[in-house]
Chains A and B, each alone.
Chain A
Amino acid sequence: MEILLFDSRNDQLAMMEEILTRIDCNVSSVMKEDECFAKLISGKYDLVIFDHGIPGLDVIDFVTQVETIDRSICVAMMVTLPSRFYEEKYGCSGIDFLLFKPFGYNEITSLVKEAVQYSLKLRKAS
């Protein structure tokens, strides 16, 4: 599975990258929004994982642009606040998965498994 990781801080990015590589995913990491879009335009990805807390990131605008580039990409957001907040604010934004912190190996593995299945559905639909 081809995964694009987007986070403004290297510590969480490095940990995620190590776990995803260990479960046989091909991972690319970026720390800036424009780098993220450049990667999405130049390569084929099944899943984009990004952090809700990236300074200056407009989540809805970001997800809309990801969808514009490729509608079949699954989008997962790493989050911290109560689920009701995300339900109300981003329920219709195009985010497919929420990954609640703190999470570890098992949660990341589950996300990848679910994203594989969902990605197939999205590809068929598009």
Chain B
Amino acid sequence: MSLLHTYIKSYRRNSSDRRSGKDRRSERDRRSGWGKKEDELLHGALAATASIVYQFSRPFTIILGYVDLLLATTREEHTREKLVIIKTQLKIISDILDSFREVDDFKTIDFDGVDILDTNKLLEVETDEKDRRIL
């Protein structure tokens, strides 16, 4: 079954790290910190991003589906151009939803004094195709 071929990412420490007093955290872990607070923040971030993805996905699917249907049937050039613009913007939103889906680290960036979740690294990297295509 195709589901079984999905690669699961995991950044949790392994059991030897927990047993040992030695700091075996990776460079990545040392950068972002690790502990109860980070776990709680990550848990909150995961809940928030999952909620956003869950709530927004259905309406965007319906809009995208009808835009595709209109593109398939409309011959008028000006209307097609506008539909392509709408579809491009929907693709951007879709990519953002993909980046929210892939959040596995709590990291924020400053936006005019307000902390916002940093998903830029996920947008810069090619979003894992498994979440855009059918498995």
Q: Do A and B come from one complex?
A: yes
A87 touches B61 (CB 8 A): no
B134 touches A104 (CB 8 A): no
B66 touches A15 (CB 8 A): yes
Q: What is the predominant secondary structure among interface residues of chain B facing chain A?
A: helix
Interface pick from B2-10, B13-21, B27-35, B111-119: B2-10
Q: How many residues of B contact A (CB 8 A)?
A: 37
Interchain CA distance A22-B63 in the complex, whole Å: 17
- CB neighbours (8 Å) of B94 from chain A are 102
B107 at the A interface (CB under 8 A)? no
B125 at the A interface (CB under 8 A)? no
- CB neighbours (8 Å) of A96 from chain B are 1-3
Provide the A15-44 mask, 1 if CB < 8 A to any CB of B, else 0: 110110010000000000000000000000
A104 touches B101 (CB 8 A): no
B58 at the A interface (CB under 8 A)? yes
A126 at the B interface (CB under 8 A)? no
Provide the B85-113 mask, 1 if CB < 8 A to any CB of A, else 0: 00000100110010001100000000000
- CB neighbours (8 Å) of B65 from chain A are 15-16, 18-19, 103-105, 108
What interface size band does chain A fall in?
Answer: 35 or more
B58 touches A12 (CB 8 A): yes
Given contacts A18-B69, A19-B69, A105-B68, contact A100 B58 (CB under 8 A): no
Residues of A with Cβ closer than 8 Å to B? 9, 11-12, 15-16, 18-19, 22, 53, 76, 78, 80-84, 86-88, 90-92, 94-108, 110-111, 114
30 contacts between A and B (CB under 8 A): A12-B61, A15-B61, A15-B69, A22-B72, A78-B61, A81-B53, A82-B50, A83-B101, A83-B128, A83-B131, A84-B8, A91-B3, A91-B4, A92-B4, A95-B1, A97-B2, A97-B135, A98-B134, A99-B134, A100-B131, A101-B57, A101-B60, A102-B63, A102-B64, A102-B94, A103-B61, A103-B64, A105-B69, A110-B133, A111-B134
